[in-house]
A and B are shown apart, each in its own frame.
Chain A
Amino acid sequence: MQQQQKLIFEKSVSGRRCTQLPACDIENKTALPQDLLREEAPLLPEIAEVDLVRHYMALSRKAHGVDNGFYPLGSCTMKYNPRLNEEVAAMPGFTDIHPLQPTASVQGALKVMQLLQQYLAEITGMDAVTLQPAAGAQGEWTGLLLIKAYHEAHGEQNRTKILIPDSAHGTNPASAAMCGFQVVHVPCTEDGFVDVAALRSLAGPDTAGLMLTNPNTLGLFEKDSLEMADIIHKAGGLLYYDGANLNAIMGIARPGDLGFDVCHLNLHKTFSTPHGGGGPGSGPVGCKKALSPYLPNPIVEDENGQLTLNFDNPNSIGQVKAFYGNFLVYLKAFTYILSSGADGLKQASQGAVLNANYMLYQLKEIFHLNNTFPCMHEFVLSMEDLKEETGVSAMDVAKALLDYGIHPPTMYFPLIVPEALMVEPTETENKETLDFAIETFRKIKEEAFADSAKLHQYPLQTPVRRLDEVQAARKPILKYQKSENQ
């Protein structure tokens, strides 16, 4: 068993220092009134630089990123994060500019924004793009606000309902609720597609729009999406495209051509920017001309060759966050698009779909599943039969994968598939990696039949084993507390 990792506070020794600051070069010191000052110093560690480095090195060794190994986490597009992107985002010409500098002094940054907006509009088939949303969920919310503002401007305040398929990501209904919309669930058919007949009966004069992930969360292209667009538009609603799965169709098809009016992109998925252990992401929103007057402020504009930021758009929904979005993040996506180009982006999507199908083709056989083939960039395995026959659940399989150095697929999502494991290999994995993962699944399945009790024990090789999540939630300990005897 590995040694317990101490918290950084437990390594603190009074008087130790890491960073030294220059002495104060001002002679006549100012003192603030005593009642404005804090009485107690904050609980921060006092630690030497070498010990700080070793602490975070130890923590980093207990983390697993794409650079550590295969990460087929469904719907998260854990593709390789190119090193060039990191180098570009560390250039002082980008890191050291103030967001409120005169626009004449940041023409390079504004050019990045303008070009990226243009490229993303072309990739999605939209007319205008904002880069301000900080992540996918904020993009969804921004896009829905555009829909809300559009209907209000057209005197249709009664359009209060957003239709969302059962297979949607949890952020979809949560974003719709944040906008004050009522969420109407659209059922799926047995083979995982949106039930078009049900959709037709649900769409009406109170429909604000439909949110659709396409390819859907089962990794299947919604084959009736053109018909769905027609139904919603005829009812007077608008179509929202959740871009979480855009990695399947870059250069192959475009949401705009499929009839969608507004979409968000997850640059931290499709466009290779790293996830940083949970963020920062970047969730630009694209829309058709009819919705563009409502886009968040500010908008980059070209005034006779000089780029400016326009904060005065009378119909704008306003700002969705401070400044202009996660600039250094979307700068990485910009770099990725320049590197890949129109040809490379198409090859990326083809590769993503090829790899997913290669895995699906063999795993279908191993687990005796009747998934639709071909799939798009991801697919969902159901461990329902395995559980029935051996008692080994999707969770057990996932935890066993950990011991083989493979990050498990997304577990128990989408909710419509029992014992789901959602696999998204991405295009940046080579054949050997895919073969190793397929072989590992086969071994785990064989072990489930041979010794199912052992499967409930995994993982055994990781820094800690399965956690007691119930205790964590029942008696929350959310911060370190100095114990009495210290």
Chain B
Amino acid sequence: MTSYVPHTQEEKQEILASMHLNSMEELFCHIPEQVRLKELLQIPLGKSEMEVKTQINALAQKNKVFPTIFRGAGAYRHFIPAVVKQMASREEFVTAYTPYQAEISQGILQSIFEYQTMICSLTGMDAANASVYDGATAAAEAMNMCRSPKKKKVLIAATANPQVIATMQTYAYSFDMEIGLIPQKNGKTDLTALSQLLDDSISCVYIASPNYYGQIEDCGKIAQLIHAAGSIYIAGCNPISLGLLQTPAAMGADIAVGEGQPLGLPLGFGGPYLGFMACKSAMMRKLPGRIVGQTVDADGKTAYVLTLQAREQHIRREKAASNICSNQALCALTAGIYLAAMGPNGLKEVANLCLQKAHYAATEMQKISGFQLVYDGPFFHEFVTKCPIPVEKVMTALEEKNILGGLPLNGALDNCILWCFTECNSKEEIDTLIQILKEVT
């Protein structure tokens, strides 16, 4: 057994004796006798580090790591610089709790302040929080920011990521809010439908751009329609795309949210990821969770501290803006280091590489009979194609070559494929993909 308890048997006895106790059992005397376990739990006995590592390594080997991935749909493989992983692994960051004691937590507080600055700058917004669980809960928390007794309805674009829609639906059930889906037209939000659905019962509208299908939405027009109806525009965004694309704020969004995983976090089978949230200053005090602000210490020195805590659960209890306590701080730190390592030019280059690779792949796929693009609007690094043969055949052929193909879609897009390309995909890899697609069809 691996024990992380340092005491020897003698020390345990010594400590018990110092309190005039004879046995460990006496410490648990307040637990009713009838519920005290008489035997050990039915889980295996402890093992040595070597044995555990061998056992888990065997499990890791049962997962297939694809050297080439053309699948995104909410989780993206990007290059992670060594410096990002190593700096984010510093034990002082990793093993600290929430920075309640600001005097000994300036490093963490400053890193969050810098992260908030970067998120504000990427999105064009005035204020950002220190993170929420992921992009899906960020969208749900944004919806919560817009709750009002009179406006119980929320509109969500049908073009949004299904994971985000599903999560928002659960939160809406909890908040007793009603969700309406805005239909799509040619892979983008149908603006006519949107304006018909908008009325004064709609508290907010969530639309992501680039959307689930990779299409860039008509954000400017969307903002006009939403604001004309007196509603709030929650813009979902991909942070890498913002190296290149217009900011949500400039497009007229009131709240910007998104999945921060592309900023230096591994795929990790879906988590931990990073929900980022930013908004205009008018809504600043409705942001959920931790926020770091600048202040001074007793000597007048600039310092950072958790602030606007009157929004939070430990002060306001049932009247809090949200119940969130633990967030994704280490993921936010990682994203901050990633953005610092990239800088404005690096981020733009990553975004441009994604754009170029995806468009090259799309162009080449068009040349294969049956793989035409389903939608024709501008896109970033994802797009949907048809597939002339059963999609499983394509996936199997790719998997045999250690390639994870695009995501097979269903419903109205049955037998279509959602492809994703990033800076990690070389032209050679894309050419191989095209070759295999030609061969299987």
> Which residues from chain A contact B259 at a C-beta distance below 8 Å?
322
- Is residue B73 within 8 Å, beta carbon to beta carbon, of the partner chain? yes
Chain A: minimal CB distance from B426 (Å): 6
Known: A42-B344, A328-B268, A478-B116. A354 touches B16 (CB 8 A): yes
Q: What are 16 A-B pairs with beta-carbon distances under 8 A?
A: A32-B244, A59-B107, A84-B53, A94-B268, A99-B271, A100-B74, A106-B269, A171-B314, A174-B316, A183-B318, A278-B329, A317-B170, A327-B272, A347-B5, A374-B30, A468-B295
Known: A100-B75, A479-B120. A122 touches B41 (CB 8 A): yes
CB-defined interface of B350-377 with A at 8 Å, one 1/0 digit per residue? 1011011101100100000000000000
- Is residue B52 within 8 Å, beta carbon to beta carbon, of the partner chain? yes
Q: Is A59 a contact partner of B111 (Cβ separation < 8 A)? A: yes
- Is residue A265 within 8 Å, beta carbon to beta carbon, of the partner chain? no
Query: Nearest CB to that of A354 among chain B residues?
Result: B15
B-contacting residues, A72-113, CB 8 Å? 73, 76, 78-82, 84, 86-88, 91-102, 105-109, 111-112
Size bracket, chain B contacts: 35 or more
A-contacting residues, B1-31, CB 8 Å? 1-7, 11-12, 14-16, 18-19, 21, 24, 26-31
B-contacting residues, A257-311, CB 8 Å? 257-258, 266, 268, 272, 274-281, 283, 296-297
Known: A119-B43, A135-B325. A467 touches B303 (CB 8 A): yes
At the interface with chain A, which of B86-94, B191-199, B200-208, B228-236? Answer: B86-94
Q: Is B94 a contact partner of A431 (Cβ separation < 8 A)? A: no
- Is residue A392 within 8 Å, beta carbon to beta carbon, of the partner chain? no
- Is residue A153 within 8 Å, beta carbon to beta carbon, of the partner chain? no
CB-defined interface of B112-140 with A at 8 Å, one 1/0 digit per residue? 01101110111000111011011111000
> Which residues from chain A contact B58 at a C-beta distance below 8 Å?
108
Known: A350-B24, A473-B308. A178 touches B174 (CB 8 A): yes
At the interface with chain B, which of A196-204, A219-227, A379-387, A447-455? Answer: A219-227
- Is residue A361 within 8 Å, beta carbon to beta carbon, of the partner chain? yes
Known: A19-B341, A180-B175. A429 touches B15 (CB 8 A): no
- Is residue B414 within 8 Å, beta carbon to beta carbon, of the partner chain? no
Q: Is B342 a contact partner of A18 (Cβ separation < 8 A)? A: yes
- Is residue A459 within 8 Å, beta carbon to beta carbon, of the partner chain? yes
Known: A19-B341, A226-B34. 13 other contacts (CB 8 A): A38-B245, A53-B83, A65-B96, A106-B64, A122-B41, A136-B325, A141-B323, A183-B317, A220-B30, A254-B35, A280-B271, A355-B15, A479-B126
Q: Is A342 a contact partner of B128 (Cβ separation < 8 A)? A: no
Closest 4 pairs (CB-CB, A-B): A323-B270, A93-B60, A341-B46, A276-B330
> Which residues from chain B contact A55 at a C-beta distance below 8 Å?
340
- Is residue A337 within 8 Å, beta carbon to beta carbon, of the partner chain? yes
Q: Is B292 a contact partner of A251 (Cβ separation < 8 A)? A: no
Q: Is A122 a contact partner of B43 (Cβ separation < 8 A)? A: yes
**Measured between alpha carbons, how far is A452 from B46 in the docked complex, in Å?**
50
**Measured between alpha carbons, how far is A180 from B174 in the docked complex, in Å?**
6
At the interface with chain A, which of B159-167, B181-189, B432-440? Answer: B159-167
**Measured between alpha carbons, how far is A138 from B359 in the docked complex, in Å?**
40
Chain A: minimal CB distance from B250 (Å): 7
Known: A63-B104, A64-B104, A101-B404. A318 touches B170 (CB 8 A): yes
Q: Is B42 a contact partner of A342 (Cβ separation < 8 A)? A: yes
- Is residue A209 within 8 Å, beta carbon to beta carbon, of the partner chain? no
- Is residue A5 within 8 Å, beta carbon to beta carbon, of the partner chain? yes
In this complex, the member of A57, A63, A252, A329 whose beta carbon has the largest number of chain B beta carbons within 10 angstroms is A63
Q: Is A478 a contact partner of B284 (Cβ separation < 8 A)? A: yes
Query: Nearest CB to that of A1 among chain B residues?
Result: B299
Query: Nearest CB to that of B2 among chain A residues?
Result: A339
**Measured between alpha carbons, how far is A340 from B244 in the docked complex, in Å?**
49
**Measured between alpha carbons, how far is A421 from B77 in the docked complex, in Å?**
45
Q: Is B1 a contact partner of A134 (Cβ separation < 8 A)? A: no
- Is residue A241 within 8 Å, beta carbon to beta carbon, of the partner chain? no
Pick from A178, A335, A354: contact of B323, CB under 8 Å? A178
Q: Is A323 a contact partner of B173 (Cβ separation < 8 A)? A: no
Query: Nearest CB to that of B30 among chain A residues?
Result: A221
**Measured between alpha carbons, how far is A442 from B313 in the docked complex, in Å?**
33
Q: Is B271 a contact partner of A107 (Cβ separation < 8 A)? A: no
**Measured between alpha carbons, how far is A484 from B102 in the docked complex, in Å?**
29
Known: A18-B341, A42-B347, A399-B103. A343 touches B246 (CB 8 A): no
Chain A: minimal CB distance from B249 (Å): 10
**Measured between alpha carbons, how far is A55 from B111 in the docked complex, in Å?**
10
Known: A45-B340, A52-B337, A65-B96. A339 touches B52 (CB 8 A): yes
Q: Is B270 a contact partner of A464 (Cβ separation < 8 A)? A: no
A-contacting residues, B35-54, CB 8 Å? 35-37, 40-47, 49, 52-53
Pick from A122, A334, A374, A472: contact of B29, CB under 8 Å? A374
Chain A: minimal CB distance from B380 (Å): 8
Q: Is A344 a contact partner of B339 (Cβ separation < 8 A)? A: no
- Is residue A408 within 8 Å, beta carbon to beta carbon, of the partner chain? yes
